[in-house]
Amino acid sequence: MLKRQSLTARWRALTSKRVSSETNIANWIDIRQHLSGGVVRRFALSRCPGLSSALILGLGTFLFSLSGCGGLSTGTAPGYTITASALNPDSITAGSASKSVITVTPANGYKGSIRLSCDAFGGVPAPTCSFGTSPVVITGPEPVVSTMTITTSRSTPGGSYAILVTGKDAANGAPTGDPEVLMLTTAAVLQRVVVIFQENRSPDNLFHDPVLISRGADIASNGKNSHGQTIPLSPIDLGTSGSDPQNYDLSHSHSAFVSMYDGGKMDGADLIPCVPVINCRVHPDPQFMYVKPSDVQPYFDLAEQYTFGDRMFQTNQGPSFPAHQFIISGTSAPAATSNLFAAENPKLMQQAAGCIAPRTKRF
């Protein structure tokens, strides 16, 4: 995190450079703000000979302050300064707010109306600011205060933000002295949790991703059948369309799981029933297939960017009805004290145990 002392020192070092008195500074000076992807912000300057032109800082944020023509020395001309108390708190969770007391102090008999403003740099969407009183009116020698509130939304990214506080009076005069820069740290919050269920698939079938495999994911490329033979897995389209459609279905029943599991040998995949038989015969080993990577690339993108449980397996050992009980309650037992679990679809609702919501239904 940049400390205010180092920012101020850099500002003074840069603004101590001068240009010749014959030089006319252009009406606009481009200041590039590196923190927001190189966005160029422009600040209006009157044409003033001899004014420092070294105003660009490469510190991850930028500062800007001018006192008007004649350099940055305050002299005895009327003017005002702006100071800000440290943000309270200076570290918040996205969606919360922080406050600072802004003090405007007149000098050398200054009087006038000053409109306060601030900018936040660091992420998108950036925090926003508001002032309890703005403009503030100076009518005498006493300082005037206003409370600045920095507000974040729940979508504000986590990270550090530089808050630049400044002001202008009716004559477009900026404050004298060093600029006020406050640092705010935000912690991001989860916007929503999305749970995607892909039924009737295993990691070996659905995540044959070369990137995950190259990173060490435990994805099988072959399997054993009940005869002890090693069968290589072959690619197939996801669903019933494409050049090699999966126009057949393997049994989802508990008994099929028991056959496949074979007491832990994991060699009974070829014993899982396949229907319709005429379509199953197109592939010599319809149980030993994996989905073509191009059909499930969005799944790969999520697994590669975040994390992937390559050795995670569902607790239930059967079809949709018990699987849905586990989604809702973490068990398919009818009661907390029961040692029985629903393992199959109810016999009277074989056609209504899976995804039975209307296709237009939204939740």
Q: How are beta strands 128-131 and 144-151 bridged, if at all?
A: antiparallel
The predicted model gives 324-336 an average pLDDT of: 87
Residue type at 192 in one-letter notation: R
Please name the fold of domain 4-68+79-187.
Immunoglobulin-like (2.60.40)
What is the rounded CA–CA span in Å between residue 188 and residue 93?
6
What is the pLDDT, as a whole number, of residue 265?
A: 94
Q: Which of the four pLDDT bands, split at 50, 70 and 90, describes residue 124?
A: confident
Strands 97-107 and 144-151: antiparallel
The pLDDT, as a whole number, for residue 200 is: 82
Q: Flag the least confident range among 35-44, 67-76, 211-220, 318-327.
A: 35-44
Residue 244 has pLDDT above 80, yes or no: yes
Which of 60-74, 174-188, 255-269 is predicted least confidently?
60-74
| DSSP string computed for 50-97 | T--------SSS-------SS-S--TTS-EEEEEEPPPBSSEEETT-E
pLDDT of residue 361: 55
Check residues 138 and 310 and name the one with the higher pLDDT. 138
Given a cut of 60, whether residue 273 has pLDDT beyond it is: yes
* pLDDT at 355 exceeding the cut of 70: no
Q: For the chain, where are the alpha helices, taking DSSP H only?
A: 4-15, 203-206, 210-214, 254-261, 277-280, 297-305, 320-329
Residue-wise pLDDT for 96-107, tens only, equals 999 999 999 999
Q: Which of 138-142, 236-240, 251-255 has the highest mean pLDDT?
A: 138-142
Instruction: Tell me what the pLDDT averaged over the chain comes to.
Output: 79
Boundaries of every domain in the chain: 4-68+79-187, 203-313
